[in-house]
Copies of this chain bind each other. A is one copy, B any other.
Amino acid sequence: MNKYIVLKNRPKGKPSLNDFETKETEKPQPGEGDILLKALYVSVDPYLRGRMRDQKSYIPPFKLDEPIESMVVAEVEDSKNKNFSKGDFVSGMLDWKEYQVSDGKGLNKIKKNNAALSAFLGILGLTGITAYLGLEKIGKLKEGETLLVSGAAGAVGSIVGQIGKIKGCKVVGIAGSDEKIKKITEDFQFDEGINYKAAENIQEEIKKACPNGVDVYFDNVGGEILDAAVLNMNKFGRVINCGAISIYNAEEQPTGLRLEPFLFKNSIIMQGFTVRDYAEDFQPAIRQLSEWLKEDKLRYEETIVEGFEEIPQAFLDLFEGKNKGKMVVKV
């Protein structure tokens, strides 16, 4: 049989297991030109929450009672397509299904090298590419500048900080536990870490950790931490609005500090960043990340949960900060 997972209800506020349902169907047969894929690793990511909402966005919302999709690493089990052979590994936007048929369009063949297969959902996948291109395209980091990143122990954040160190910047990370702070400063070599849950005044803590002000803020969380960062930014500062996990689950329109007077005062740029806008830059990004990985300049961490049916729980755990680095489900 062939298990798959559908969106059963549109979550109200924080999603719960009741919003998902695991179903079964027949294992499909590939037609002429198709390949049969067996899912090996499934990526769960905070941005998927947005697609569970019934609203216009850069990618269409998930439909109720249909499979959810995310980035998946799969093995070709059978091929009637001349571009793929049995035993190939691919990555791509695929359904949460144990087995599925594809015409191969939009799939990337994974070149075998020393990296683990799961890395192609993380540091060599959209996660690493997001960190790299966000800093390149909007951050425009210069040596000696101060880089602040939130969600610093997370999948994207931990790579952002390491790239900042490679580029010769002072790097300060914000995360939600002393354990995570220890990890970013010891394992990932950030200069400083701020545990926002222990901070009395996050704006003051940032000021202390960044005595020369903040030049680039890579924002994965939004909300009050964004406000505190903007209040610490230097003239010509750049904010990469890459995610807003702190408010994804809000049902009301969240409010906060009006930022426009500060943008105006210091000629600050805030720019929404969605990696999909830069598809033509993916290959050079992967090449650079692979090189740094080979040279041992980049480390990554992943939380691997085992079992296809654990995908919804792994997704929910993202909002509790239970992952360290990239959260991946091994099927």
Counted per complex, copies of this chain come to 2
- List chain B residues, Cβ under 8 A from A111: none
- List chain B residues, Cβ under 8 A from A211: none
Q: Does the CB pair A253–B260 fall under 8 Å?
A: no
Q: Does A277 contact B (CB under 8 A)?
A: yes
Q: Does the CB pair B255–A222 fall under 8 Å?
A: no
Greatest chain B CB density within 10 A among A219, A222, A260 is at: A260
Q: Does the CB pair B235–A264 fall under 8 Å?
A: no
Q: Does A106 contact B (CB under 8 A)?
A: no
On A, residues with C-beta under 8 Å from B are: 50, 57-58, 219, 222-223, 226, 235-236, 241-244, 247-248, 253-274, 277
Sample of 11 more A-B contacts, CB < 8 Å, known A241-B260, A255-B256: A58-B235, A58-B267, A222-B258, A244-B264, A254-B257, A266-B272, A267-B273, A267-B277, A268-B271, A269-B270, A270-B271
The 10 closest A-B pairs by CB, nearest first: A263-B272, A264-B272, A254-B258, A222-B260, A269-B271, A270-B270, A241-B263, A256-B258, A267-B272, A241-B264
22 residue pairs A–B, Cβ–Cβ below 8 Å: A58-B265, A241-B260, A241-B263, A244-B260, A247-B258, A253-B257, A254-B258, A254-B261, A255-B255, A255-B257, A256-B256, A256-B258, A260-B270, A260-B272, A262-B272, A264-B273, A264-B274, A265-B272, A267-B272, A267-B273, A268-B272, A269-B269
Q: Which residue of B235, B255, B260, B265 is within 8 Å of A50 (Cβ)? A: B265
Q: What separation, in Å, do the CA atoms of A241 and B269 have in the docked complex?
A: 10
* Closest B residue, CB atoms, query A237: B272
Q: What separation, in Å, do the CA atoms of A72 and B264 have in the docked complex?
A: 23
